[in-house]
Structure 1
Amino acid sequence: MVETANRIAGVAAAIPIDNLDTDQIMPKQFLRIIGKAGLAKGVLYDLRFDGNGDPRPDFVLNRPGYEKPAILIGGANFGCGSSREHAVWGLLQLGVQAVIASSFGEIFFGNAFNNRLLLITLDQVLVDALAVEVATDPAHQLQIDLESMQVHSPSGRAFAFTIGERNRRMIIEGLDMIGLTLKHHAAIEQFEARHFAAAPWMRVLNQG
């Protein structure tokens, strides 16, 4: 897997399951922790392992070369369900940097970008085409260009996508929402100075 600030490239694993919810992405038994560490083991646990804890050989993440993909190609409504942020944390710990699907759960979408997990929305027919291209060989890798906002397939096809400029900058610059806000620190201080100059009594109330 290769990564630069403007590009994500690497193995892509197709999991074409519609309505794959956050409970499936990160089952409840892996939520009994205080920190974030160790969540990679829980990602899609019930799909990856059987009742005895043995790997299911037919599941894509247990196939040679697909164990730690940089990119997932998911089904419609990926990440629906509960608001657990652990689902995003676990995917990132597994090495996933981007998910491509035709639609995403709303809360998962926000959690993902706030943690710098790139989500790309494409028409279902294009998602299906990408899934077919990467399904037979992990050497058939994808490239995501965040400057041109295109996904490049193993066959040389390019699929254009759009994301909000704020989200794009967060991914490219490695910033969370606080970091992105602090880029405007000088403007915030100037606004504060003007505000308290016009209403000095507010400073006293604010400090009280």
Structure 2
Amino acid sequence: MTAFPPVPRVEGVAAPLLRANVDTDAIIPSREIKGVGKSGLADGLFAGWRYTAPGTRDPVAGFVLNDPHYTHAPIMLAGENFGCGSSREHAVWALHEYGVRAVIAPSFAPIFRGNCIRNGIVPVVLNEAAVQRVAQVDGPVVVDLLAQQVEAGGSRFAFDIDAEAKAMLAEGLDGIDLTKRYGTAIDTFHAADRAARPWIYLRQDP
């Protein structure tokens, strides 16, 4: 059983939200967080921009996610420093519940990027010119994590991602799952350490 559905490849329309410095309070305003779970957040995604007033669900005309073409888009295009502000993991949970499986941006806030990797959203870094080119494509976009490239309108854009993050996303692993892969090595270390330094361990009854 995986922590989240693996995302080796994401394909679909890419919703262009080409704003810089989009913070986590814009992604999911604090007033929309009414619990500690991962569900029930999608309706509050970008609530301050998506709806006409706090507490309402009257759509703002012209906001990208209110365009039927981009409803529940699996890919989002963003500006630099996406996900800045507070470290709230709810921002990634809201995106994931809405259906987003990849975000393409020139840069991400580090904590937000880490939260994406641990929750099944591929954070793709492309330069601003490449993001703008992808935004101009009228058709499906593909984020191929295994090949580390974005395919859009006949063009391909390579992106870098570290091996650990790639494995976590491609196989649906969170940090605990990743640690369990080293279970044998951990057990071997503990056995050797217990023999060498028995005084630091609690005594076990025979």
Q: TM-score normalized by structure 1? A: 0.90
Deviations 1:122-161 (A, max 9, x none): 1111011111214xxxxx11111122101000x1100000
1:114, distance to aligned residue in structure 2 (A): 1.8
Q: Specify which of 173, 176, 193 is matched with residue 175 of structure 1.
A: 173
1:86, distance to aligned residue in structure 2 (A): 0.5
| Match in the other structure for 2:197 | 199
Note the 1:56-95 alignment, pairs <5 A.
56-95=60-99
1:206, distance to aligned residue in structure 2 (A): 9.9
**Shift >6 Å, 4+ stretches:** none
Is 2:110 aligned against 1:112? Answer: no
Note the 1:154-165 alignment, pairs <5 A.
155-165=153-163
SS of 1:204's equivalent in the other structure is coil
- In 1, Cα distance between the equivalents of 2:131 and 2:76? 11
Aligned-residue RMSD, C-alpha: 1.8
- In 2, Cα distance between the equivalents of 1:26 and 1:84? 9
1:110, distance to aligned residue in structure 2 (A): 1.6
| Match in the other structure for 1:43 | 45
SS of 1:125's equivalent in the other structure is helix
Q: TM-score normalized by structure 2? A: 0.91
Residues 24 and 86 in structure 2, CA contact (< 8 A), matched pair in contact too: yes
If asked which structure has higher relative contact order (CA below 8 Å, sep 6+), I would say 2
Deviations 1:4-63 (A, max 9, x none): 752111121010011111000000111221322210011111111112531122111111
SS of 2:82's equivalent in the other structure is coil
1:116, distance to aligned residue in structure 2 (A): 2.3
Gaps of 5+ in 2: none
Q: Specify which of 5, 8, 19 is matched with residue 6 of structure 1.
A: 8
- Note closer, same or farther for the CA distance 1:79–1:193 as it changes in structure 2 (3 Å cut): same
Residues 65 and 71 in structure 2, CA contact (< 8 A), matched pair in contact too: yes
| Match in the other structure for 2:22 | 20
1:204, distance to aligned residue in structure 2 (A): 2.8
Is 2:140 aligned against 1:141? Answer: yes
| Match in the other structure for 1:99 | 103
- In 1, Cα distance between the equivalents of 2:188 and 2:93? 36
